[in-house]
A = this chain, B = another copy of it.
Amino acid sequence: MINTRFSVAIHILTLVATNSDKGVTSNFIAGSVNTNPVVIRRIGSLLKKANLLKGGPGVAGYSLVAEPNKITLLDIYRAVTTGEELFAVHDQPNPNCDVGKNIQSSLDISLTRAQQAMENELNKQTLADIIQHLSIQ
């Protein structure tokens, strides 16, 4: 299971997008996510490195760098999973076995396709879609 940083990151960006009038502080966000403000700042830090969020020490609250319909879920996913693979593959299969010798590259072909398919779908959806789904419950 992929950890909650991705869903929390989406939550953060959604709050910033829908409260652009107020100062959306880590404290405010933590109250909505129901966690500690440091957890928010930690993920906020990743989102800033990915150029999705603005803000900094002294500045009260975060703001978006781009419009919600320009921020894809893939952008957010990549921000919080900095380049890691979706599927782990076991380390040291036996090189003296025909299967062990080649299984990693064989797995790589298939698992990369699955990851690609997921990322393609994330790339079709934006923060604006998330916001829209909020209202039509």
A118 in complex: contacting residue of B94, B100, B114, CB < 8 Å: B114
- The count of residues in chain A whose C-beta lies closer than 8 Å to any C-beta of chain B is 58
Q: Report the Cα distance A113→B129, complex, angstroms.
A: 13
Q: With a CB–CB cut-off of 8 A, which chain B residues contact A106?
A: 14, 130-131, 133-134
Task: Report whether B1 and A87 are in contact in the complex, using a CB–CB cutoff of 8 Å.
Answer: yes
Q: Which residue of B lies closest to A35 (CB)?
A: B90
For the residues of A in contact with B, the DSSP-based class is: helix
Q: Report the Cα distance A2→B107, complex, angstroms.
A: 14
Q: Report the Cα distance A129→B112, complex, angstroms.
A: 14
| Stretch of A26-34, A45-53, A57-65 on the interface side | A26-34
> Is A111 part of the contact surface with B, judged by Cβ < 8 Å?
yes
> Is A56 part of the contact surface with B, judged by Cβ < 8 Å?
no
What is the distance, in angstroms, from A106's C-beta to the closest C-beta of chain B? 4
* 10 A-B pairs with C-beta separation under 8 A: A11-B103, A31-B94, A32-B93, A32-B97, A73-B114, A102-B137, A103-B134, A110-B133, A114-B125, A116-B121
